[in-house]
Chains A and B, each alone.
Chain A
Amino acid sequence: MSRTRYTRRLPAAAIAAGLVLALAACGGSDSTSADGAAPSAATDQLNPNADLTKQSLDITIWDGYSPKDLPQRVKSKLGFDVKIAIHDTNEAAMARVATNTDSGIDVAFVSGQYAQALNEQGLLEPLHPELIPNLANLYPEASQLSFDKGNKFSVPYTWGTTGICYRTDLVKAPPTSWNDILTPPDDLKGKVTMMTTERWLALPALKALNYSINTTDDKQLAQVKESLLKAKQWGMLYDDTTFGAKLEKGEAAMVEAWDGWCPTTNPKIKFMVPKEGSDLWSDTMVIMKTSKNKEAAHAFINFILDPAVHSWVAENILYKVPNKAAMDLVAQNDKELLEKNAPLKMTPAELLKGESIIDLGEASAKYTRLATEISAQQ
C-alpha cells in the first residue's frame, strides 16, 4: 500500500512542471474541454453489440492501484483478456502513450491534467456514455472536475485533496489555517514538515495569502517566496514521502499531507483541510484513440465502475473514489474502516471546494524555480 502511495504521488508531484497548455485558472478549463471535444467529432461509430471475446485490452496503470485478480475477473465476466503494464509516474505513462503511432495501449490511468493534455493533442477517444451505463454510479460532482467537465474524455478513478495531518497530543491547539503550518509556535520547531514538490510547496502559502493555486502572477509568487523563506528560517523541514511515519513516531507533530497519506488509523492523528481551502486532484481512466478494442475498453471502464470493483480502491488504498455506489458499499461493508479513516469520509461537496491544479504550461517553470530557490536558501 505504501508503495502504491509513493509511486502514485511522486508523479503527481511532477504535474507541476510542464504540459504546454496555455490555460490558467478554472475559467479557462471550460473552453479546454470544449476545445478538447472538437477532435471527437470524427469518431468511428462503436458497435454496442460487438463480440468482446474477439478483443483484448492493454492497460497501463500504477503498481498496486488495481485488484491483483482484475484480469481474471474481467475475463470471466466480460470474456476478453486484459494485459496490465505498470508505470511509476505520469511521465512514464505519457512516454508510453503520447506517440503518433499505435502504442498498443488501449486504456491508460493518468492524472487529470495529463488526461487534459492528451486530449488537447487529439490522442484520446471521446467516451461513448451509452457504453458505460455504470457512469450513473458516479457522484454528480464527478463530472464537475475542471480538467474535463462532463467526463467527455476521462472517467475519474480516484480523487482527493491536500491538508494538514497532525498529532492531537503534540499540538496545543488543533490547526485551522495554513498559517498554522507556515508560522507554528516555537515549541513545534523541528517538528513541522511541508512538501517540496513545487506546486504543493507553494500551496500553503498561496492559500494563506488567498491566491489561486494556479497563479502565474510574479508579484504573488514573490510574496509566496517570502512567506516560504520565513518558514524555512524558522526551521521548517521538508518531506514528500515519509511524513506519515514521522507523525506516527512523534518525530513530527504537524505536516502538510495528501489525504490518503495521513495515517488517521492512529487515533492520535487527525487530518483537516484549512479554512482557506486547498486543492482537488483526480486520477482518471482514458481510452486511446489508436485503440482497436474500443468496445472492450468501454466495457472495461464500465466494469471498474461496478461498486464491487471500485470499492476495492477505497478499501485497500484508502483513496476516495468518486463512485457513490462504491462508497456506499464501503460504508455498508466496513463501517469501521470509514470511522478510522476520517479523510475517506469527506463528501464530494467538501472535495469540490478544492481548486483543481491545472497545468500552467511554460509558466510552470516559475514554480520549479521557486522550489529550487527555497531549497537553495541556507
Chain B
Amino acid sequence: MAGPSTGRPSRRSRALRPLAARLVFLGPGLGFLIVFLLVPLALMMSYTIFRRGRFGGVVYEATAENFGRLFDPLYFDIVLSSVRTAAVTTLIALLVGYPTAYVIARLPRRWKTIALIAVVLPFWTNFLIRVYAWVILLSGPGLVNETLTGVGLIDKPIQFLYNEGTIVTGLLYSYLPLMILPLYAAIERLDPQLREASANLGARPARTFASVTLPLTVPGVLTGCVFVFVPCLGNFVIPEILGGGRSIMAGNLIRDQFLKARDWPFGSTLALAVIAVLIVLLFLQAWASRAYGGTEGRRA
C-alpha cells in the first residue's frame, strides 16, 4: 500500500513519511469504522452460532439451528417478498430517476444547482416526519381526501393507505434521491462530443441514447440501484407506518427478533443473510460496471 518498498531500503524512510501522513488523515475515520462497524459486525457474526439467552443476549453454547431456521418457509417467504418489494421500488426509481437525472444534467448551470438542491432537500427533514407526512396527506380524514370531497369529486374518502402500494410509494419517495444523484453524476460527466459524434454519424437521438448514453451510464445506473435497493430491504419504519403494520419486511423481522422476541442469535443470523445478499449484489455491480462501462466509467 505504501508505495514501492521492494528492495530499496534507501527509499523506505521517504515512503514511510507519506504513510505516517496517511495514517494521520485516515486514522480517525478508520478507527471509527473499525470500532463502530467492524467490531459490532464481528460480534453479530459470532452470535449466529450461539443460543439465545434468558433475557435477550446470548448463551455461549454452539448451535447451527439459527441457520436452519433461515430456510423455514415462514421466514424465507418474508425475506423473498421484501426482496420483491425492494426490487419493484428500485425499478420504478430507475424509470423515474433516469429522465430526471438526464434533464438535470442538461440544465444551465444555475438551474442545475437549484434542481440538485431540490433533490436533496427532503433529507434536511427527519425521515420519520417525512414518512408520517404521507399519513397526514393520504389518511381518511387527510388532506387529499378532504380536497377531493370538498371539490365534490368523490363522496366517500378513498382508503389510500395501508397496502403494498403505499409501502412502495413511501420507499420510492424516501430513496429516489439516492437514485438520481449517482445517475446525474454519470450522465453529467459524459463527454458531449460523444453524442455529437453519434449524431454526425447519422444516429437518431433514440439510437444515440441506446448505443452511447445508456451503455456509458450503466455504472451509474447500477450504483443507483444498489443505493436504493439496500435501504429498501432493511427499512422497517415504512411498512409499519404506511403499511398499517399489515405486512412485514426483512427489516421488521430482524428488528422484532431483537426488540420483541429477544432472540439475538436468530436476529443476527437474519441480518447476516441480508448482508450476504447485499455483498453478492455489490460484487455483481462491480463486475457489471467493469464489463459495461469499461475503464471509461471508472476513470472519468
Q: A18-B52, A250-B141, A251-B139 are known contacts. Are A237 and B260 too (CB-CB below 8 A)? A: no
A190 to B126, alpha carbons, bound, how many Å?
27
Closest to B259 in A: A14
A65 at interface, CB cutoff 8 A = no
B248 touches A98 (CB 8 A): no
Interface string of B246-285 (1 = CB under 8 A from A): 1110001100100111110000000000000000000000
A378 touches B262 (CB 8 A): no
The count of chain A contact residues (Cβ–Cβ below 8 Å) is 40
For A117, what are the chain B residues with a Cβ–Cβ distance below 8 Å? Answer: 54-55
Closest to A98 in B: B55
A91 touches B77 (CB 8 A): no
For A14, what are the chain B residues with a Cβ–Cβ distance below 8 Å? Answer: 259-262
For B253, what are the chain A residues with a Cβ–Cβ distance below 8 Å? Answer: 372
For A196, what are the chain B residues with a Cβ–Cβ distance below 8 Å? Answer: 245
A375 at interface, CB cutoff 8 A = yes
B159 at interface, CB cutoff 8 A = yes
A375 touches B57 (CB 8 A): no
Interface string of B133-155 (1 = CB under 8 A from A): 00100011110000000000000
A373 to B74, alpha carbons, bound, how many Å?
7
For B140, what are the chain A residues with a Cβ–Cβ distance below 8 Å? Answer: 190-191, 250-251
B262 touches A375 (CB 8 A): no
A238 touches B244 (CB 8 A): yes
For A251, what are the chain B residues with a Cβ–Cβ distance below 8 Å? Answer: 135, 139-142
Closest Cβ–Cβ distance, residue B155 to chain A (whole Å): 14
Contact of B260 among A17, A98, A236, A250 (CB under 8 A): A17
A240 to B252, alpha carbons, bound, how many Å?
14
A378 to B81, alpha carbons, bound, how many Å?
10
Interface footprint category on B: 20 to 34
A95 at interface, CB cutoff 8 A = yes
Cβ < 8 Å to A, chain B residues 160-177: 162
A376 touches B74 (CB 8 A): yes
Q: A13-B260, A369-B74, A372-B256 are known contacts. Are A18 and B245 too (CB-CB below 8 A)? A: no
A375 touches B246 (CB 8 A): yes
Closest Cβ–Cβ distance, residue A266 to chain B (whole Å): 15
A139 to B75, alpha carbons, bound, how many Å?
46
B294 at interface, CB cutoff 8 A = no
Interface string of A219-239 (1 = CB under 8 A from B): 000000000000010001111
B56 at interface, CB cutoff 8 A = yes
Contact of B56 among A94, A238, A239 (CB under 8 A): A94
Q: A237-B245, A375-B246, A375-B252 are known contacts. Are A249 and B56 too (CB-CB below 8 A)? A: no
B57 touches A95 (CB 8 A): yes
Given contacts A237-B245, A373-B74, A375-B247, 11 further A-B contacts (CB under 8 A): A17-B260, A17-B261, A18-B262, A19-B55, A114-B55, A190-B159, A197-B260, A251-B142, A368-B260, A372-B78, A372-B253
Please list the 8 inter-chain residue pairs (A to B) with the smallest Cβ-Cβ separation, ordered nearest first: A238-B245, A94-B55, A237-B244, A375-B248, A368-B261, A91-B56, A18-B262, A17-B261
